[in-house]
Amino acid sequence: MAKTESRRKPPLLIVDDDKAVRRLLARVAERAGFDVDTAKDGVQALEMLGQKQYDIAIIDLMMPRLSGYDLVQKISTLTPRPVVIVATALMNGDIASLDDSMVRRVIKKPFDINAVATALIETARDIAEQREATPPSSVTIVSDAATVIADKATVVSPDVTLTQPPQQDAKAAEAAEPAEPTEPPPSSEKIQ
C-alpha cells in the first residue's frame, strides 16, 4: 500500500544548461522533499513559469538563448514569483550586478550537496513561515451558503443576495460628528 503524504511538496524549478547538473540538483531536491521540474535554459524556464507557480527557482547564470541574469530580471516582473537561488561558478564580482531583492541565496559550483539541500530546506521553511504570517490576498469559498466581507468579491452563483453596509448621507454624517466650537468656551471666572 502506498503511503500518502499529508504535506504539500514545495514546487521547485531548476534551470541549468548542463544536463548532469540538472540531474544532480533534481536528485538532491527530490530527496529533500521537493516537487522538481527542470529547464535547460531561460527560455524554457519562462515557458514553465507561465504554466505553473514555483516556490523556488535555482538558476544558473551562464546559459545560452536567455542568460540567468536576464531570467532573474524577467522573474522580477512576475506576480507571484518564486524565490531565486543562483547557482554559479562565477566570482562575487560577477554576481554583484544581480538585484539583491530578487536573489535569496547564491550556491557555488562545484556543489557541496549537503549545503544545497540545507539551502533548499531553509528557504522552503522561510517561505512557509512568511505565508503563515501573511493573510491571503484572495480566498476561494466553495459552499452552499457563505457570508463574505470584502472590498471586492466575484460571485459565481445562480442565487445571490447582495447586502451593502448602510451609507451615511452627508447631513447624517455631520449631525453624528460633534460640531467644532466657533466661540471660546465660557470661562469659570466672573466677569464684571
Q: pTM to 2 decimals?
A: 0.65
Domains of the chain: 11-132 (3.40.50.2300)
Amino acid identity for residue 44 in this structure: Q
Question: How distant is the alpha carbon of residue 85 from its chain centre?
Answer: 14
Q: Report how far residue 12's alpha carbon sits from residue 14's, in angstroms, rounded to the nearest whole number.
A: 7
Ordered mean pLDDT values, 10 residues apiece, the chain (192 residues): 62 96 95 95 96 95 91 91 88 65 83 90 89 70 67 68 61 53 49 47
* Residue 13 to residues 66, 101, 108, 134, Cα–Cα distance (Å): 16, 19, 18, 24
Exposed/middle/buried for 92, CB within 10 Å: 0-12, 13-18, 19+? exposed
The residues, ordered by sequence, that sit 6+ positions from 146 with a Cβ below 8 Å of its Cβ are none
What pLDDT does residue 109 have? 86
What pLDDT does residue 75 have? 93
